[in-house]
Structure formats: C-alpha cells, structure tokens
Amino acid sequence: MIRGVIRWIDERIDIIGVKKGLLDRKMPGGLTWWHTLGSATLTVFMVQVVTGIVLAMYYSPSPDHAYDSIKYLERAVISGATLRGIHHWAASAMVVLVLAHMMRVFVMGAYKYPREINWVLGVGLLFVVLGFSFTGYLLPWDQKAYWATQVGTNIAGTTPMVGPMIVKLLRGGSQLGAATLARFFAMHVLLLPALLVTIVLLHVALVIRQGIAPRTAVLDTDAPPRTTDPEYPEYYRTRYAQSKGAGVPFWPNIISKDIVVGVVVVATLVVLARATGAGLESPADPSDSSYVPRPEWYFLPFFQLLKLFPGSWEAAVAVGLPSVLVLALLLLPFFDRRSLRSMRHRPVAAASMSVILAGSGLLIGAAVREEPKTAVVAEAGRPLSSAERSGRALFARQQCGSCHHIAGQKPPAKKDDAPDAPDLTEVGLRHSSAWLHSFMEDPLRFHSDSKMPPFGPPTLTHQEIEEITRYLTSLRGADPTRKPEYADTFPATKTRPGK
Amino acid sequence: MSDPGADPLSPAIPRRGFMRVISGVGAAVLGALVGVPVIGAFISPALEKPKVDSWVKVSDDTALLDIGVPVRVDFVQTQDDAWVESRALISVWLYTEDGDVFKAYSGRCTHLGCGFTLAEDKKSFACPCHRGQFDIKTGAVLAGPPPRGLDELKVQVRDAAVYVQYREFRLGVPERIEA
C-alpha cells in the first residue's frame, strides 16, 4: 500500500531521485562533531518558529497590553512560562551557535574557494539573528526592554549626518512608544523571519549543491599557492571527488550525529526554561530615568567597549566598529586568497581570532564585574525599585543622614548640638511602612519630646514621604532575607497634642 | 570514520542500523521536547475550566418590584477577557407573581441573542429581530423562530435583596447548554 503510494508519486515527481540526491549523497570523510553546529543552529531556529507562533497568539503589541499579555501567558496558559522560557533561551542559543558555526568555518578555512558566496550569506544570517534579538528584546515592554531599546536606538542615532533620521525610522517617530512596539513586532514576526528563511534556504541549498568542505589536510597538500591560480579549480575538483569517494552517506551517518547534538541543545534549553524562565521586570516606566539598562549578554563586549571611549570618540566607535566588522566579515573571502586552509599555515588569521576572542572575553568580564556597582545599593544589598531610589535621593536631599546613620553610608558628623537620632541600618525590620510614613509626617504625635522636625505637607508631599518610606523599609541590615517583626504602636488620636 | 582496511560492508550494516535507531529516537525526543509545551499552550484555551460567577444583586428590595409585570434590570459585569479587563452591559428580566417567588430570565433571545422587550399587552416578551414571542410567566415560546424558551437564571433572595447568577447559553439550539 505505502509502496504503491510511493511508486505513484515517484512516477510523477521522482522522489527516489530526490532521496538519492539529498539523503544518500556522499559526504567527505573525517567530518567532526564541530560540523554539527550548522544543523544545530537550524534546529534551534525551527524551535524559535514553532514557539514564536504560539507566543504570538498570546501577545498584544501595544504598550497598553503588551506587559499584561505576557503576565497572562505566564499565569493562565498551560506551559506558557515554559514556552516563553524556551524562546528566550533559544534566542541566546541562536547567537552562540551562529557564532560558533562561523568560527568553525573560519578555523577550517571553509569560506575559501568555492564557498565565498555561502560565507557572505552566513554573515547576512548573523546580522538577521542579531536583528531578531534586538527587536525581540523590546516586546515584553518591561523596564529592561524599554531602557535597553532606548540605548540601542540612541546608539544608532550617533551616526553622523543621518543619525536623527535613523532614530525616527527605528522608533517610528521621535519617541520610543506605541509606534516603536508595533514596528519592532512587525519586524520580529514578519520581516525578519521572511528574510531569515530566504537566506537559510539559499545557504542550505548551496551546502547541498557544493557539498561540505573536506578536512583541511585534503586541500593543503600540493595545492597551488593561491585560489585565484588558474589551475586551482581543477586541483580542487579532483581532490574533492577523491575525498567524497572515501566518505560516508548523509543518511544515516551524518544525520544521526546532527540529531544527537540537536537533542542535547534543545534539552538544555528546556531545562533552562523550566529552571529560570525568561524573567520579567516591572512594567516599562518612561519617567524612571534612574534605571540602569543592561543589554543582552552577547552585546556586553560592545557595550563595555563604548564606555572606554569618551565623548566624540564614543560616537565614532559606536557606529564605526560595527560597520568595520561587517565589512571585514563580508570581504574576508575576497582578500584572503591563499589556498592553505589549516590554522597552522594561517598565523594572521589565528592571531586576529585570538585577539577578538580574548578581547571580547575581557570586556564581558569587565562588564560583569561592574554590574553590582551600578545596580545593587550597598545598604539594601539589592537593586532598588524606582520608588525606593527616589526615596533614597530624597533622604539625601533632606539631609536625613546628618542625624541618622545607615551602615554603608557616610556616618553623620558628630556635633555636640546634634540630637541623638536612631541608627536606621535595620529600620525596615523594626517598623512597618504605615508606621514610618505616619512618624515622618509628624514625629511629635508619637513622642512628645522628639527632636525630629515634622516632614508632612507642606515640607514634603505624601507621595515623597511614601517614597522615603519605601526606601527605609528596604533597609534590613546585612542579611536581606530576614523577616521583619513589627511591634508598632500608633498614637491614640489623630490630632497633635496641644492642638 | 570507517575503519581503514576493514571490509566496508560487513561492519557497516549493524552500525547503520544503530544510527537509524538513534536518528528515529532522537527525532521523537526532539519533537516531544518542543511539541509538548507548544501544543499545551496552543490547546490551553480549550481545556480552560468554566469560571464560577458570583451572585449579582439586581434589586435592593423585593417590595419595590411590581407583581405580575416583568422588570428589566441592567448591570455592568467585569469580564476577564484574557489580558484585558472588559466591562459588559448585561440585562436580565425579573418576574414575580406573588412577591415571594422570583424568576429571572437572561435578557437575550434564545434565537440569535437580540435583546427583547415587553410586548404592549404586558403578557409576553417580544423580540424585535425576528418576531419571537415568549410567555412572561414561564418563558415558553409563544411564536416565531426561537428554538427554546427563555433561559432562566438562578435566583436568591437574601435580606429582601434579589441576587441572580448570570450565565450565557448557546444560541439557536433547542438544548440549554452553557456557553
């Protein structure tokens, strides 16, 4: 029955021929596990397609609803949080795998004759993947998304001459807002997938048509010195045919390896997704200018590099470096025409790759080391929310610290006339926010001999007192996990004595 | 990859079989790893349990309701529409013959969901869309296309206030099935 169906189809469209061309084709001998990186990238891309389709069913690309729709996905949809976690981790995996695959091709000199076109397509894929990452980062519309995109679009804005135009083009207007989100969403789910699928199809079609590059040794013996030499194509054809003749068929020898690697990669993504999820900060707050944005980790080397260049240099590096990088990658197979492929014969290639890898590593290290300084407040032992940060700023502006001490801050100057004010290092453990708010408003209601002046209106607004309260409740001493025990007593009447 | 010098065919057959099995099992595992959460999230709405609605107060005092004449009560209900909270204006008809026993009908015609009104004789409800008619006492169909009588809602009287539990039902079918 099945055989009959197959014969019926085969008579019309020759599927046996397709099977011979695709599955039974011979691969050159000596393919390593490193050769599975390309197919692993393709596997993760397919994971992104299927998870992305279902994610889009629960997403609303509008600042009013984007954040809520993601909350809903995580809370109310079966395996919604896992799904989002997979998509998030797979996004990182895409970047890692594309870069690793690219390095494999670079190290083995596989971008040389006759695969220059496929190298260029691959460089295109790298930048499409980075485009996915940049546009996808904004979609949750939380603080991280909003502020990282502010920075990202502002970097593009430092381009000479056309900068302001590019910013408006990226944001769909001069401000980051509703039009930006819709635009990024359209790019993320319509434009970039179409682009990526097209280039991937060409990329894979060329791999099938040209075959995988053989081991470097095969093409390094008795080779004409340059790939532009007239006898090189003939030399290549002969050598490649020999290596293929001694090789193995694609199915099942190579495919089984690809699948094993695919399972390991995807299983890792699922474990990461279930263990840590995708994370969601508080909703985007465009008025909170004290938020310190962090880019996705693979942008950290670039992010850190920009900090090393002051002023006008920064703009030059911000736009210049990526441009130089793109050009260098695109032109690589056209200026490197020496035929030798093994790294042993390519000192310049080896050196430049080591410099880039070591430099990126150092920059990531530096960025990670700096992270706590910018994000975690010493006295609270954790990053503060926007209200808590405003409270901290008010605390300083009202000079509360000239009487009250908080460990981790400058101690108050000891003056004889200074009143003996309580230490606030662990105040969050002793008092509830309601008590702190009422006390700051009017200390005399609580202790008729209090030396602390009242901070209630008109000195500070209730909003401002509440912000200081939030900051104070974050102060829980050295161990922020300790549970507070309040024993607050409130004065019996709302009126002040003597009033 | 293959052993140089060895017979190229004899060891290859079990090895290739092994690779086929690995490929098949691996592909199945891959499909399951991704397929389970993807399909789970996709079919999630179909598996959602119906929500338990709360009682809505439709009248403060039973004494204020006319005997033998139905009265329409409109109220706004907050509905969780996935990640959007939306408000829907809902109508129910209250009817009592003796001031003790109360009936509540959903304000939607069972034919296609139009809102109906009290006919001029005040003995029946009339739907303006396709001239359906219902009895005010029993909700039974008197004329027109409606496939079933009006949908009765659960009623509760507590401290002289009237509460109903609003439900929606499938339209256009003879059976009363919750939507």
Instruction: DSSP for A343-392, please give it.
Output: GGG-HHHHHHHHHHHHHHHHHHHHHHHHHHHHHEETTTTEEPPHHHHHHH
Instruction: Check CB contact under 8 Å for A248 and B29.
Output: no
Residue A166, C-beta contacts closer than 8 angstroms, at least 6 positions apart: A156, A157, A159
Interface test with A, best of B2, B19, B20, B48 (most A CBs within 10 A): B19
Say yes or no: A330 and A186 in one domain.
Answer: yes
What count of other Cβ atoms lies within 10 Å of the Cβ of residue B108?
20
> A98 and A242 share a domain?
yes
Residues A339 and A392 in one domain: no
3-state secondary structure of A338: strand
pTM confidence score: 0.73
- What CATH number is attached to the domain comprising A29? 1.20.810.10
Domain match, A67 and A213 both = yes
* CA-to-CA dists, residue B156 to A412, B73, B101, angstroms: 66, 15, 10
Query: Taking CA atoms, what residue in B is nearest to A53?
Result: B38
The count of CB pairs under 8 A between chains A and B is: 93
Q: Say yes or no for a CB contact (<8 Å) between B30 and A259.
A: yes
pLDDT at A462: 85
Q: Are A124 and A217 members of one domain? A: yes
The answer to whether position A70 is within a domain reads yes
Query: Which of A259, A268, A270, A271 to substitute to test the interface with B, most B CBs within 10 Å?
Result: A259
Using a 10 angstrom Cβ sphere, with 0-12 exposed, 13-18 middle and 19 or more buried, the burial of residue A273 is buried
Nearest CA in chain B to A260: B26
ipTM of the complex: 0.72
A272, A417: one domain: no
Domain with residue A401: its CATH number is: 1.10.760.10
Residue B1 pLDDT: 43
**The amino acid at A17:** G
Is A483 among the domain residues?
Answer: no
Cis peptide before A411 (omega within 30 of 0): no
- The confidence score (pLDDT) of residue A127 equals 95
Q: How far is A201 from chain B (nearest CA, A)?
A: 21
Confidence at residue A166, expressed as pLDDT on a 0 to 100 scale: 93
pLDDT at A245: 78
Residue B80 pLDDT = 77
Are B69 and B122 contacting, i.e. CB atoms less than 8 angstroms apart? yes
DSSP state of A283: B
Phi, psi for A350 (deg, rounded to 5)? -60, -45
Residues of B with CB under 8 A from a CB of A: 1-2, 16, 19-20, 22-23, 26-27, 29-30, 33-34, 36-38, 40-44, 47, 82-84
Evaluate whether residue A218 is within a structural domain.
Answer: yes
* Residue B73 neighbours by CB under 8 Å, 6+ apart: B58, B59, B91, B92, B93, B94
How far is it between the farthest Cα atoms of chain B?
104
Same domain, A432 and A325: no
A230 CB-side CA count, 13 A? 0
Burial A39-59 (b: 16+ CB within 10 A, else e): bbbbbbbebbebbbebbeebb
Q: Residue A100, class by beta-carbon neighbours within 10 Å (0-12 exposed, 13-18 middle, 19+ buried)?
A: middle
A370 touches chain B (CB under 8 A): no
Coil/strand/helix, residue A79:
coil
Residue A481: inside a domain: no
A360 in a structural domain: no
In a domain, A54, yes or no: yes
> Quick one: A310 and A418 in the same domain?
no
| Residue of chain B whose alpha carbon sits nearest to that of A261 | B26
Q: Is A33 exposed, middle or buried (0-12, 13-18, 19+ CB in 10 A)?
A: exposed
Does residue A388 share a domain with residue A334? Answer: no
pLDDT of residue B87: 81
The verdict on A330 and A406 lying in the same domain is no
Q: What's the total number of domains in chain A?
A: 2
How far is the C-alpha of A412 from the C-alpha of A401, rounded, in Å? 6
pLDDT value, residue A374: 47
Q: Are A70 and A84 in contact (CB under 8 A)?
A: yes
Q: Which amino acid would we find at residue A476?
A: R
Half-sphere exposure of residue A45, counting CA atoms within 13 Å on the CB side? 23
**Per-position pLDDT tens, chain A of length 499:** 889 999 999 999 998 988 888 888 888 888 899 999 999 999 999 999 999 999 999 999 999 999 999 999 999 999 999 999 999 999 999 999 999 999 999 999 999 999 999 999 999 999 999 999 999 999 999 989 999 999 889 888 888 889 899 999 999 999 999 999 999 999 999 999 999 999 999 999 999 999 999 888 889 988 999 999 999 999 999 999 988 877 888 888 899 999 999 999 999 999 999 999 998 888 888 877 777 787 888 888 888 888 888 777 887 888 888 889 999 999 999 999 999 999 999 999 999 999 999 999 999 998 888 765 545 666 777 777 777 888 888 888 888 888 888 877 777 766 666 667 888 888 888 888 888 988 998 888 888 888 888 898 888 888 889 889 988 888 887 776 677 777 777 776 554 444 3
Retrieve residue A459's tokens: 């000195």
For A69, the closest of B2, B29, B83 (CB atoms) is B83
Of B19, B26, B37, the CB nearest to A86: B37
Residue A486 lies in a domain: no
- All residues of chain A having their beta carbon less than 8 Å from the beta carbon of residue B44 are 76-80
Neighbours of A176 (CB within 10 A): 24
**Contact at 8 Å (CB) between A498 and A447?**
no
Is residue A458 domain-shared with residue A324, that is, in the same domain? no
Chain A hits for B22, CB-CB cut-off 8 Å, are: 252, 256, 259-260
Is the CB of residue B106 less than 8 Å from the CB of residue A91? no
Cite the beta strand spans of chain B per DSSP E: 56-59, 71-81, 84-96, 102-106, 117-118, 124-126, 133-135, 141-143, 152-158, 161-165
Buried b vs exposed e over A474-499: b needs ≥16 C-beta within 10 Å? bbbeeeeeeeeeeeeeebeeeeeeee
Question: Does residue A288 sit in the same domain as residue A399?
Answer: no
User: Rounded to whole angstroms, how far apart are CA atoms A250 and A22?
Assistant: 8
Residue A351 lies in a domain: no
Task: Indicate the DSSP class of residue B115.
Answer: B
Spans in chain B with pLDDT lower than 50: 1-10
- How many other C-beta atoms lie within 10 A of the C-beta of residue A281? 17
Q: Which residue's structure tokens are 């410099």?
A: A355
Rounded to a whole number of angstroms, the distance between the first and last alpha carbons of chain A is 99
- The boundaries of the domain holding residue A23 are 2-343
Sort out which chain A residues have CB atoms less than 8 A from B33's CB and list them: 263, 266-267, 270
Q: What CA–CA distance (Å, rounded) separates B74 from B89?
A: 7
Contact B30 A43 (CB under 8 A): yes
For chain A, positions 12-41, list CB contacts with chain B under 8 A: 29-31
